[in-house]
Amino acid sequence: MNCLFVGAGAIAPEYAAGLSGSSLSLAGVADLDGDRAAALAAAHDCPSFTDLETALAAVDAPLVVNLTSHAAHAPVTRTALEADRHVYSQKPLALDADEARALVALARDRGLALGCAPGTPRAPSQRRGGRLLADGRLGPVGLGYAHAHVGRVTDWHDRPDSFLEIGALYDGAVYPLALLVSWFGPVERVRVADALDVWPEREERRPSTPSHVEATLAFAAGPTVRLTASFYAPHRSREFYGLELHGDDGSLYLKGTGAMGAARDGVRFGRVGREYVTAPPAGPTKPYEYVDAVERLAATVEAGTPSRAGGRQGAHVVAVCNAIEAAAEEGGPVAVDDCGATADPPPAPVVRPAESVESEGRPGPRAIRLPAVGFGCSRYRDGEYVERADSIATALDAGYRLLDSAELYGNEHRIGELLAAPGAPDRDRVFLLGKAWRTNHRRERLLSACAGSREELGIDAFDCYALHWPSALEHRGELTRLAEESVERQESLTFPEGAHGEPATADVSLATAWENLEAVREKGWARTLGICNVSRAQLETVLETGTVDPALVQVERHPYRPRNGLVEFCHERGIRVVAHSPLSAPGLLEEPALGEIAADRELSPAEVVVAWNASRGVVPIPSSTVESHVVANLAAGSVRLTDDELARIDALKDPTFER
């Protein structure tokens, strides 16, 4: 869609930068400063204007992008709407709520779209924070602290006048306000507010409105948020645009409500009673671009449903700012007009072609959806048992959504406790993979093992229930709460031996064990079935003899043992591959090739191995007891390696590798 940029100041090139990858094209630029307009227009091969009316008459563009200075937003938007143009406006929509409401009404009456910055509530970190809320991690949210430390505009902006004129509220506070309104809906009232004139004596240019504002806002949906908007607090202060929300069950810290990138440490979650843990991106993300919101607005126009949701929300944010000023002058509380902030459904996401990800060997279309990385919950480490409850809690807090459990690991009840505790993700947000041990392959044993595991975990059904091993061993007793038995007893129960120390095998064929596993699914105790540690021939047996195909295969997989043939075989059939023991092959993390790629990408070798799996559509389930490793491994799932890097890692294959 053709658009006309009105305003060619500092922000305009930021919008223009994203145009080439979008469905928008720049058809004209207007600015009172003819040189600025001409420079931007020349870069985009379109005409420039110094007069808005002339530009509107001359340019065939249904959409005006209003990038003028703050006080000009409302008059320019009004002129454009009156000329029957859809408008996307820089923030704030207006400086006065009546004017903002009138613009929304004008757009509605003329059937035009009206959008308003900031679009950053849809940026990756903000969405990640929003997902934590949607996952129920915080429980009901009672309190929040939001900062908008715009800082000394005279220091960092070459044309600070329009900032000094309107104050930190209308420039900076709109970022946290837009985000909070997108999460919680409208502010009902400003409880109290205060405004200060703090400014260094030495500065010649001074704000014409209070330089520092504080307010306590009551959202209709419940939370009370203390907001600070300041020109005085430097923009490099610790809080900058930080937002901290506290709920009954947990807290969320978002480093930048206006941030556009996907910084790993941009979102942190703290379950009540536990330390904050970084919640990194769990999959590949694209940084937000200014033009994204404009493109989304244009898409609603093209779909014949011009959206005014952004305009309404922008108008409500202006109403909040007006109410804060009124409360600071006259005392609170001051009621805030909703301005229809939540009347429209949320805008549809921008649909862009996915990033170019290695397509060869990726799972087929029937495959189940899994997170890019899961968390291994085994207690077993180099011949010893380690306590895992704390690291599993850390993993859940960091955002892992696939837990690899097994009755063999003896800690299902601990996982169940974590999932039932306040601040845990909702059950339907976590993919739980369970496994029946080899001593339980007979039908009644398999059913009883699954029933026991479900009870320990406190769940109705597994997302996937798997055979831990294709071959069966003799049953010597139940494995419930295995970790509470002595090590000797654990070993005799799980690796039973015959009279001469040989493994005590059981006469249950793989085909029969699989048929027995299918009975678990028939009972509704597992949504899907899986199998671990299979060869391709064994998998073929299951596929040929079974009624239900495995949804998931779990095998040891790492660069020494890439199992690419098996992976390809599975992916062709829509079977997901989960890589167990991805990091622990002796010597692997010291491999020079991994070290070089790691150094190039500022990752660790372990993260490179996680990314190598994720880039091939294989889900690694590393385990770790170290918080920084837990977080780093999850974050690495969003890294996609190049073909060349993948090939260098593939070259580490060692056919003689054995544990």
Which positions lie near ligand NAP, rule CB under 6 A? Answer: 376-378, 404, 468, 532-533, 554, 580-584, 604, 606, 621-626, 629, 632-633
Q: In what order do the strands lie in the sheet containing 243-247?
A: 276-278, 267-271, 250-254, 243-247, 141-149, 224-230, 212-219, 187-196, 334-335
Q: How many CA atoms lie within 13 A of 549 on its CB side?
A: 14
Q: In what order do the strands lie in the sheet containing 63-66?
A: 48-49, 25-30, 2-6, 63-66, 86-89, 114-116
Smaller CB distance to ligand NAP: residue 187 or 606? 606
DSSP run (H or E) holding 569? helix 564-572
Smaller CB distance to ligand NAP: residue 328 or 482? 482
- Give the 3-state secondary structure of residue 121: helix
Q: For residues 170 and 156, give the distance between their C-alpha atoms in angstroms, rounded to a whole number.
A: 18
- Beta carbon of residue 587, minimum distance to ligand NAP (angstroms, whole number): 13
Smaller CB distance to ligand NAP: residue 307 or 624? 624
Smaller CB distance to ligand NAP: residue 100 or 459? 459
- Beta carbon of residue 271, minimum distance to ligand NAP (angstroms, whole number): 20
Q: For residues 110 and 9, give the distance between their C-alpha atoms in angstroms, rounded to a whole number.
A: 29
- Beta carbon of residue 532, minimum distance to ligand NAP (angstroms, whole number): 4
Name the residue whose CB lies closest to ligand NAP.
Answer: 376
Smaller CB distance to ligand NAP: residue 290 or 560? 560
The DSSP bridge partners found for residue 4 are 28, 64
- Beta carbon of residue 380, minimum distance to ligand NAP (angstroms, whole number): 7
Smaller CB distance to ligand NAP: residue 494 or 624? 624
Smaller CB distance to ligand NAP: residue 513 or 632? 632
Q: For residues 406 and 292, give the distance between their C-alpha atoms in angstroms, rounded to a whole number.
A: 44
Q: For residues 177 and 551, give the distance between their C-alpha atoms in angstroms, rounded to a whole number.
A: 44
- Cα distance from N-terminal residue to C-terminal residue, the chain: 59
Smaller CB distance to ligand NAP: residue 211 or 633? 633
- Beta carbon of residue 563, minimum distance to ligand NAP (angstroms, whole number): 13
- Beta carbon of residue 381, minimum distance to ligand NAP (angstroms, whole number): 6
- Give the 3-state secondary structure of residue 583: coil
- Beta carbon of residue 519, minimum distance to ligand NAP (angstroms, whole number): 21
Smaller CB distance to ligand NAP: residue 570 or 583? 583
DSSP run (H or E) holding 5? strand 2-6
- Beta carbon of residue 35, minimum distance to ligand NAP (angstroms, whole number): 53
- Beta carbon of residue 625, minimum distance to ligand NAP (angstroms, whole number): 4
Smallest CA-to-CA distance from 526 within 589, 463, 605 is with 463
- Beta carbon of residue 255, minimum distance to ligand NAP (angstroms, whole number): 22
Q: For residues 472 and 513, give the distance between their C-alpha atoms in angstroms, rounded to a whole number.
A: 8
CB atoms closer than 10 angstroms to residue 238: 9
Q: Residue 216: left (phi > 0), alpha (psi -120 to 50), or beta?
A: beta
CA 343, 349, 354: angle at the middle one, nearest 5? 175
Smaller CB distance to ligand NAP: residue 376 or 452? 376
